[in-house]
Chain A
Amino acid sequence: MHLTKEEERTLNGEDGETLQKAMEILVALGDIYGADTLIPVKSAQIAGVSYKTIGDAGLEWISDLNGKVKVPSILNPAGMDMQRWKDMGIEPDFAEKQVEVIKAYESLGIRSMCTCTPYYLEGFSATYGDHLAWSESSAVSYANSVIGARTNREGGPSALSAALVGKTANYGYHLDENRVPTVSVTVECELSGSDYGALGYLAGKYVGNRVPIFYMASTPTSDNLKALGAAMAASGAVALYHVEDITPEAQKVSFANPEDRIIIERSQIDEVYEEVIGGTDDLECDIAAVGCPHCSADELENIARLLEGKGIDKELWVCTSREVAEKNAELVKQIEQSGAKVLCDTCMVVSPATEGHNCMMVNSGKALAYVPGMCKVAAKIGSLEECIKKVGGDN
């Protein structure tokens, strides 16, 4: 890989140990994947935040770093709501470690907003063609597919390195040739709401790490696309997809219909709804959780409308980013009047607080893929309306 004199200097340690290590990580990845140079990135989003996933080793590594990030940088969800962790039943020992993780990131100049939807936040908007270094698999998918920006699936340390250096290696989805669809998915039936998550859960398994182009009978909203991409990134390793006539790149570039074709029928999507993943059919859901990825303002509005004048008798979590919650304080208040909890900074997947529940109803294909394994809680997908009904919100 070609490095400028300045980059060479950093690699040789002349700008300190932290930047040397960051540069080594970027160069190693560039060499592995055949990058020609480093390219500047507009922003970074860093995974490896929940103490549940990185443990003491991760905390130690982050704490040992010195320096300041060179581009706007933000974090992935943490293991708890940083303000209401007691309400979630989080142990003080865990909370203490989680606070340490966040403080370590803050000392590097990273904004301590913990979310999988950085694109909703001020200062993190991305536009078509921007190069980014984002980590969260659903945010990567959204940036690449729905916005038409460019990022690889960065791991925690590599996104952090990109943030510190302000650059990333030019390979993978930064290059035109890797953004061409190689498999097509035709969906002949009409879809709405959680169907997109169920479709993604299904399609991700077929697609693997390829780039699919969808031909759809219905017209998805950006929230629908968010759910589709998140699920495919969880059940497969999809970082970029196109939807004919809908996603920006598919509108600008005339992609050929790939030879490899998949057709998805309504009956296959219905099957996803019938299954209890990680449990048996007779298992009763005792918690419902929505907001995976974190809710948009539109989604909060929809939830508030469905809960209007209703009370619930089981746990209902609505996960979102703190900034979106604060900007929509009235909606949050309306949702919480029902007894539901609007949780910020965290989610049902990376928090230890779900442990002890039997079965979780979710409206997200991503949560359906991760909750059984990561939380040891069975999961079932349902529409937003069904999730609310499941926790008693039909009175």
Chain B
Amino acid sequence: MVTIKIKCRTIARGVAEGEVLLSTDALSFLGNVDPKTGVVVDPSHAIYGQCIKDKILVFPHGKGSTVGSYVIYQLKKNNVAPAGMINIDSEPIVAVGAIISDIPLVDRLEEDPYEVLSDGDHVKVDSSNGYIEIPEK
């Protein structure tokens, strides 16, 4: 399969692969996500009811309480964390959460992730080397 590489900025190092789950809404890990199941529990959220476990979670940026960093860590310990994360622009809560939880996180892709990615695409996030790899459509 032919793949294309898109450059991005490294926030939390590591390599992950998985299926894309796209959220058009920002995400507050404290309150929006159940740390035990990884299911988005806020009824007003764009990906309400979906499980983020093992996904490549794409969302614009984080929001809400700084305790959110520890919620990400809890998701990881409960084996329901996303495999990797892609942001438009990362902010400290998600960045720190991803780093302490060993979840590769990138932002500032050279192309708009909402243009080039769709739900269910198989994507590789190589944050250590600063790119993501997606199948050519």
Q: Which residues of A contact B (CB under 8 A)?
A: 21, 24-25, 28-29, 31-32, 47-48, 53-58, 60-61, 155-158
Chain A residues with Cβ below 8 Å from B59 are none
Task: Please state if B99 and A21 are interface contacts (CB–CB under 8 Å).
Answer: yes
User: CB-nearest residue of chain B relative to A33?
Assistant: B92
Contact B100 A21 (CB under 8 A): yes
In contact, A57 and B96 (Cβ under 8 angstroms): no
Q: Using Cβ atoms and an 8 Å threshold, which residues of chain A touch B121?
A: none
Are the C-beta atoms of B70 and A25 separated by less than 8 Å? Answer: no
Q: How far is the CB of A320 from chain B (nearest CB, A)?
A: 25
With A28-B96, A29-B92, A31-B9 given, can you name 8 additional A-B contacts, CB distance below 8 Å?
A: A25-B100, A48-B70, A53-B67, A55-B70, A57-B35, A57-B71, A57-B73, A60-B73
Q: Is B40 an interface residue (CB 8 A)?
A: no
- Whether A32 touches B92, Cβ cut-off 8 Å, given contacts A21-B99, A25-B99, A155-B66, is yes
Please tell me the size bucket of the interface on B. Answer: 20 to 34
Do A155 and B73 contact each other (CB < 8 Å), given the known contacts A25-B99, A28-B11?
Answer: no
Instruction: Kindly provide the distance from the CB of A60 to the nearest chain B CB, expressed in whole angstroms.
Output: 6
What would be 22 A-B contacts, judged by CB atoms less than 8 Å apart?
A21-B100, A24-B99, A25-B95, A25-B96, A28-B12, A28-B96, A31-B11, A32-B11, A32-B90, A32-B91, A32-B95, A47-B66, A54-B70, A57-B70, A61-B70, A155-B66, A155-B96, A156-B69, A156-B70, A157-B99, A157-B100, A158-B96
Tell me how far the C-beta of B94 lies from the nearest C-beta in chain A, rounded to whole angstroms. Answer: 10
Q: Which of B67, B71, B90, B99 has the most CB of A within 10 A?
A: B99
Q: Is the interface of B mostly helix, strand, loop or mixed?
A: helix
Q: How distant is B18 from chain A, measured CB to nearest CB, in Å?
A: 22
Q: What residue of chain A has the Cβ atom nearest to residue B75's Cβ?
A: A57
Bitwise, B46-85 to A at CB < 8 A (1) or not (0) is 0000000000000000000011011101100100000000
B86 at the interface (CB under 8 A from A): no
Shortest distance from the beta carbon of B107 to any chain A beta carbon, whole Å: 8
Q: In the complex the two chains form, what is the Cα distance from A54 to B12 in whole Å?
A: 21
- Chain B interface residues toward A at CB < 8 A: 9, 11-13, 35, 66-67, 69-71, 73-74, 77, 90-93, 95-96, 99-100
Interface of A, helix, strand, loop or mixed by DSSP: helix
Which 6 A-B pairs give the minimum distances between C-beta atoms?
A: A57-B74, A155-B66, A58-B70, A57-B70, A57-B73, A28-B95
Chain A residues, CB < 8 A from B70: 48, 54-55, 57-58, 61, 156
Q: How far is the CA of A87 from the CA of B131 in the complex (A)?
A: 56
A22, closest chain B residue (CB): B99
Q: In the assembled complex, which residues on chain B have CB atoms less than 8 Å from the CB atom of A56?
A: 74
